[in-house]
């Protein structure tokens, strides 16, 4: 576990033992989490927040959307953003209402949004986004055309200012509450796939790919 925060605003102040500044830990959370939330400040000084799909490639975090999106247009010109991803691993039920908690892994990154304009990088990001959603999908899907890439706005931030915060383990009740006849413990939670639903027009001869049949988020701990 890296003990040094890369900046003051990434430092975990409250319960600092939950903070982790190690890039391997941060990367694992970013890779496993399906979506993130992106916050920024409008020209009028108001907070804005959108959920979106992201993908990490090495030291860069990408997100994208339609170039027709007013939201993404507002983000384009060197806007400072704060990105958070949060994976809920379980409910932590203590005897006391006060000590209830969650087991979770969250990562937060700060950065200035850069627009991806290089054609090769755009293709790489398109592939990476498809594989982030379903590892293996990029090799199967019809790749984007140049016109489709022109309609897509891709944004990037570096990961040099990021941190993670993690809670694991059982509830921590006060000593005097341990004997109360109240159930306490953890209820694990996980995102699980259901049965794939083929598109209405799909040729019945096209099988469900292995990466969908046995879907799981990459790197989820045992």
- Residues 98-127 interacting with its own copies (rule: CB under 8 A): 98, 100, 102, 104, 106, 108, 110, 126-127
Least Å from the CB of residue 153 to its own copies: 11
Least Å from the CB of residue 29 to its own copies: 12
Total residues binding its own copies (CB under 8 A): 98
**Residue 81, CB half-sphere, CA atoms under 13 Å: how many?**
31
Distance CA(139)–CA(61), nearest Å, equals 21
Query: What's the distance, CA 31 to chain centroid?
Result: 7
Contact flag: residue 193 with its own copies (CB under 8 A): yes
Enumerate residues 23-42 that contact its own copies by CB under 8 A: 34-35, 37, 39-41
Contact flag: residue 13 with its own copies (CB under 8 A): yes
Contact flag: residue 69 with its own copies (CB under 8 A): yes
Task: Scan for tokens 């939670």, then name that residue.
Answer: 189
Q: Confirm if 116 and 156 have CB atoms less than 8 A apart.
A: yes
The residue from 24, 208, 218, 219 that contacts its own copies (CB under 8 A) is 208
Contact flag: residue 53 with its own copies (CB under 8 A): yes
Distance CA(131)–CA(149), nearest Å, equals 17
Check residue 33 and give left, alpha or beta (phi > 0: left; psi -120 to 50: alpha): beta
Contact flag: residue 9 with its own copies (CB under 8 A): yes
């Amino acid at each position: 576990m890296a003990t040094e925060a890369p900046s003051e605003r990434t430092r975990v102040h409250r319960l600092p033992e939950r903070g982790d500044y190690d890039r391997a830990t941060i990367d694992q959370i970013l890779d496993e989490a399906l979506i993130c939330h992106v916050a920024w400040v409008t020209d009028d000084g108001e907070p804005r927040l959108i959920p979106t799909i992201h993908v990490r490639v090495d030291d860069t975090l990408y997100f994208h959307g339609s170039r027709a999106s007013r939201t993404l247009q507002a983000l384009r010109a060197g806007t400072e953003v704060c990105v958070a991803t949060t994976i809920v691993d379980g409910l932590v039920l203590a005897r006391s209402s006060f000590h209830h908690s969650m087991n979770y892994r969250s990562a937060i990154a700060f950065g200035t949004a850069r627009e991806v304009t290089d054609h090769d990088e755009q293709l790489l990001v398109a592939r990476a986004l498809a594989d982030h959603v379903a590892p293996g999908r990029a090799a199967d899907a019809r790749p984007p055309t140049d016109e489709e890439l022109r309609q897509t706005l891709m944004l990037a931030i570096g990961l040099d200012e990021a941190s993670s915060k993690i809670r694991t383990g059982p509830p921590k009740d006060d000593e005097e509450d341990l004997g109360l006849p109240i159930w306490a413990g953890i209820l694990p939670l996980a995102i699980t796939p259901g049965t794939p639903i083929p598109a209405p027009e799909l040729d019945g001869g096209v099988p469900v790919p292995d990466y969908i049949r046995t879907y799981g988020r990459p790197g989820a701990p045992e």
